[in-house]
Amino acid sequence: MSVIKIAKPVTPGRRGKVYVRNFDLSSDGPLKKLTKGKKKISSRDNQGRISVRRRGAGHKRRYRIIDFKLTKPSMRGVVKTIEYDPNRNVFIALVCYSDGDKRYVLATENMKKGFEINSGEEAKSEEGNTLPLNKINVGSFIHNIELHPGKGGQIVRSAGGFARLLGIDGKYASVVLPSGETRKILASCLATIGVLSNKEFKNIKRGKAGVSRWQGRRPKVRGVVMNPVDHPMGGGEGKTSGGRHPCSPTGIIAKGFRTRKSKKYSNKLIVRRRKK
């Protein structure tokens, strides 16, 4: 059960703060054997250059190893805890299988302690179960969808996300993605049934800049106030950008310029483009 809370403005940092209180979350730490250390790299590439701006510092984290492939077919699993994961905006569930093995999976909105899940072609088409697309009831909400059989779920993995299965046509399944795009995916690919948890995440307001810094987000400066050497929109007298079109530091136009390759191999699998 999740409740949206508005903080009382007892301090300037609490004024305007909106957060989500979830009563199903475990207060215990993560299972240590299912975590590993996460090195802070400040968004630098293998040459040490910043490849993603405005990242760095933040609280130390441990990475939770999520079972995106769901490699325990035809084996019943029981949810032991629902936990917070600092590396993603969706909650995760610790599942204990009948052979004693434990795995982390993405939690659905109705998942709680004692919830049973299963995977494989023989599993029922119910929330939390993972099946091939051709075994799922048409019209179902799905997430954690594979794009290549056996590779593991790659798309629809964020808080409150879901796609909808439109139908099966031969070896392909038609799926409506959260962006509004209708796409064909191999019907043998796996997907998990249900809507992902923490759908109230979009309503969160941090309240103060310090919360962003704890999460590893550094301050952002507009391009128009930079010098010409730092940004294409920089320079000029006063509050002006010299009539330049909004663009990125590398000169890529930001408004209405499509960056998708016209000869991309997956174009043939897109039935309808996403909403503009």
List helix spans (H) across 52-198. none
| CA distance between the termini of the chain | 34
Q: What is the pLDDT of residue 276?
A: 64
φ and ψ at residue 83, rounded to 5 degrees: -125, 155
139, 159 Cβ separation under 8 angstroms: no
Which ranges of the chain have pLDDT less than 50?
A: none
Beta bridge partners of 131: 191
Q: What is the pLDDT of residue 258?
A: 86
Burial 99-130 (b: 16+ CB within 10 A, else e): eeeebbbbbbbebeeebebbbbeebeeebbbb
CA distance linking residue 56 with residue 211, whole number of Å = 13
Q: Which two tokens stand for residue 121?
A: 């072609």
- 3-class DSSP state of 36: strand
Q: What is the pLDDT of residue 24?
A: 85
In three-state form (DSSP H/G/I as H, E/B as E, the rest C), the secondary structure along 181-213 is CEEEEECCCEEEECCECCHHHHHCECCCHHHHH
CA distance linking residue 269 with residue 264, whole number of Å = 10
207, 17 Cβ separation under 8 angstroms: yes
Task: Provide, for the chain, the percentages of residues in helix, strand and coil under a 3-state DSSP scheme, each rounded to the nearest 5.
Answer: 10, 30, 60
Residues 6+ apart with CB under 8 A from 229: none
Indicate if the alpha-carbon torsion angle 62, 65, 68, 74 is positive or negative.
negative
**Angle at alpha carbon of residue 63, lines to 58 and 66, rounded to 5°:** 140
List helix spans (H) across the chain. 209-214
Q: What is the pLDDT of residues 20-71, one digit of tens each?
A: 888 889 988 899 999 999 888 778 888 989 889 999 888 999 999 999 988 7
Q: What is the pLDDT of residue 123?
A: 86
CB atoms within 10 A of CB 19: 17
CA distance linking residue 201 with residue 72, whole number of Å = 30
For the chain, give me the number of helices (H) and strands (E)? 1, 17
Q: How many residues does the chain have?
A: 276
